[in-house]
A = this chain, B = another copy of it.
Amino acid sequence: MSTAIQRDKSSFLYQQVVEMVMEMRSSGTLRAGDRLPSLRSFSQGLKVSIPTVRQAYVELERQGMVEARPKSGYFLKAQNIDVQGPKKATPPRRPRVVNKQSLIEEVFTAIHAPGSVALGLANPTAAHSSDKALARVMRRVLANAGNKAIAYGPMEGFPPLRRQLALSHIDQGLQIDPSEVLITNGAQEAIAIALKCVAKAGDIIAVESPTYFGVLELIESLGMMALEIPLCPDHGVGLADLEAALKKHPVKACVFSSSISNPLGSYMNDERREALVHLLESKDIPLIEDDVYGELHFQKTRSVLAQRFSTKGLVLTCSSFSKTAAPGYRIGWLLAGRFHDQAKRVKRALSCSSSLLNQWTLSEFMASGEYERNIRVLRQVLERYKQRAIALVTEYFPTETRMSNPQGGGVLWVELPSKNHGNDLFHRALDHNISIAPGTLFSPSDKFKHCIRVSYGVQWSDKIEESYRILGELVKEGSS
């Protein structure tokens, strides 16, 4: 490597370093998501000064080729992801009865099939599992709790966990009392309770388009109707679109993921989120905020919770440990604002209480600081895998393919060349033991049928890389 730098060339040394990185990228030596050598080791290897390497990295960052991550170094970004972002959806603006049940079942059967590569599952903890740390804590709880470990816990939740969660919201600028935290069976139950508090069968619920299919299934199950509000990949729900929809339809409540959305990975900035809350509260429309991906952002700081901007208590925050620590524990929470008393009752009626042992373990996991530390690492790993996944799609999929540039979370939203149908690709991928989530799942209408959602929040391996390659081949076949 040291031979490549020529001191007699007319270009600056740092420019030569820049060119070298760009060549390594073209040749595939360095791939999107890879960490560049540290300043020290690169300077030693190239026999240039550390400031020279730093200047090169800063220049690469300026050009959008690499990005700096605090305490981690510089990472190669994927190319051209901005120009190929997905189009903003323009779904029909009328409420829909939802019916995606059999497809959802097919997808989940595929995901749990033995030997399948589960790119269809949104399970980002797989990228950096905290299973060993959690098992350690749980063994300690088992040793200390005695028969309390299997006892009924209080219906609203295990008090130490409610306290930890209240504490964790201080960082987010939200001062809440532990008694305002209601523990649920995952965020799904939290959203179910929230919806039951604010709406009834027949009511219209506004959702993002595309949105998480679990929300659609819930709306169907409760006999409500879904109204799609187009999601802008860069800004989240369009406020003008929303306002127009509210004028046209008697929307009873909204279920949005304005921090980090699923499947788009879009991000709404705090100013827009504040405007969203004000718009809705001015019309007395409750906002159910699904924040499960909020901690898994790729920004400097996490977004401010929508509830923080609430002045009327009409914002209900739903979240869980499923995307950050332990999906299988089935522990989530609901901050129900002015609906808290009602929410408590619905929770009791639906399932009494949530697993005490799991709550106990999570409360100690939080108290020890390990939970936060794990999330920090998980974020970095996910962002690296995101870059890699984008690079793989860029490399293997047809050039007309568009994709999201997720601002957090663990999934990539891919718009296939128009001849492809996501459902068809789903079935053909299954023949190769690869599961993906077809786009039609994410809307009650038939939009997004040429889209798929693929996960990069996985335990990365050669098999994953190979699966992305195979998917690309299958798409090319479909396009021809």
Contacts and interface: CB of A to CB of B under 8 A. Distances in A.
A152 interface: yes
Contact of A355 (B149, B221, B222, B330): B330
Interface string A78-118: 00000000000000000000000100110010001000000
- Number of copies of this protein chain within its complex: 2
Contacts of A357: 328-329, 358
A149 B135 contact: yes
Residue of A101, A223, A328 with highest tally of chain B CB at under 10 A: A328
A352 B323 CA distance: 14
A349 B201 contact: no
Interface string A127-154: 0011100110011001100111111111
Contacts of A330: 185, 351-355
Nearest to A153: B328
Nearest to A192: B350
A238 interface: no
Nearest to A220: B349
A186 to B, nearest CB: 6
A221 B345 contact: yes
A125 interface: yes
A134 B146 CA distance: 11
A214 to B, nearest CB: 7
Contacts of A130: 150
A239 interface: no
A348 interface: yes
Contact of A155 (B108, B152, B189): B108
Nearest to A150: B326
A346 interface: yes
Contact of A328 (B186, B192, B356): B356
A435 interface: no
Nearest to A215: B349
B351 A186 contact: yes
B349 A217 contact: yes
Residue of A131, A146, A184 with highest tally of chain B CB at under 10 A: A131
Nearest to A331: B355
A349 B148 CA distance: 30
Contact of A189 (B105, B328, B344, B350): B350
Contacts of A354: 185, 330
Residue of A138, A223, A349 with highest tally of chain B CB at under 10 A: A349
Contact of A185 (B143, B152, B185, B346): B185
B217 A348 contact: yes
Nearest to A325: B150
A382 interface: no
Interface in A199-233: 200-201, 214, 217-218, 220-223
Interface of A: 101, 104-105, 108, 112, 121, 123, 125-126, 129-131, 134-135, 138-139, 142-143, 146-155, 184-186, 188-189, 192, 196, 200-201, 214, 217-218, 220-223, 322, 325-330, 344-346, 348-358
26 contacts: A121-B152, A123-B151, A125-B150, A126-B147, A126-B151, A130-B150, A148-B328, A150-B328, A153-B328, A185-B351, A188-B349, A189-B350, A189-B351, A192-B351, A217-B349, A218-B350, A220-B349, A221-B345, A221-B349, A328-B356, A328-B357, A330-B351, A330-B355, A350-B351, A357-B358, A358-B358
* Interchain residue pairs A-B with the least CB separation, the first 5: A221-B349, A328-B356, A131-B147, A150-B326, A185-B351
